[in-house]
Amino acid sequence: MDEPFVTIDLHGLTQEEAVEKIDKALKSAGSGTYQLRLIHGFNRGTRLKNMIYDWYEPDSRVKRIMPGDNQGVTILVLRELY
């Protein structure tokens, strides 16, 4: 996968399923992939959002984590856009 911005829908997934899906995307991200946009939703609490921060903040593949365009989206920045 070498798209610059990849969107991954995590609605309805367990934490384990979400980690599996995110890890697969991280492994297949090419040098042209800058961000993974993770859509986790927010109406049913922040379980997936918290998991994303807990699991991927210390991950060396992720430069930083930032909020998306709404409360239900979190972005993993893999490479900075200069």
| Domain segments of the chain as ranges | 5-77
Encode 44-77 in three state secondary structure.
Answer: CCCHHHHHHHHHHCCCCCCCEEEECCCCCEEEEE
Domain 5-77 has CATH 3.40.50.620: no
Mean of the pLDDT values across residues 32-45? 90
pLDDT band at residue 82 under the 50/70/90 scheme? confident
pLDDT at 61: 95
Residues 6+ apart with CB under 8 A from 2: 30, 31, 32, 33
- Entry pTM: 0.92
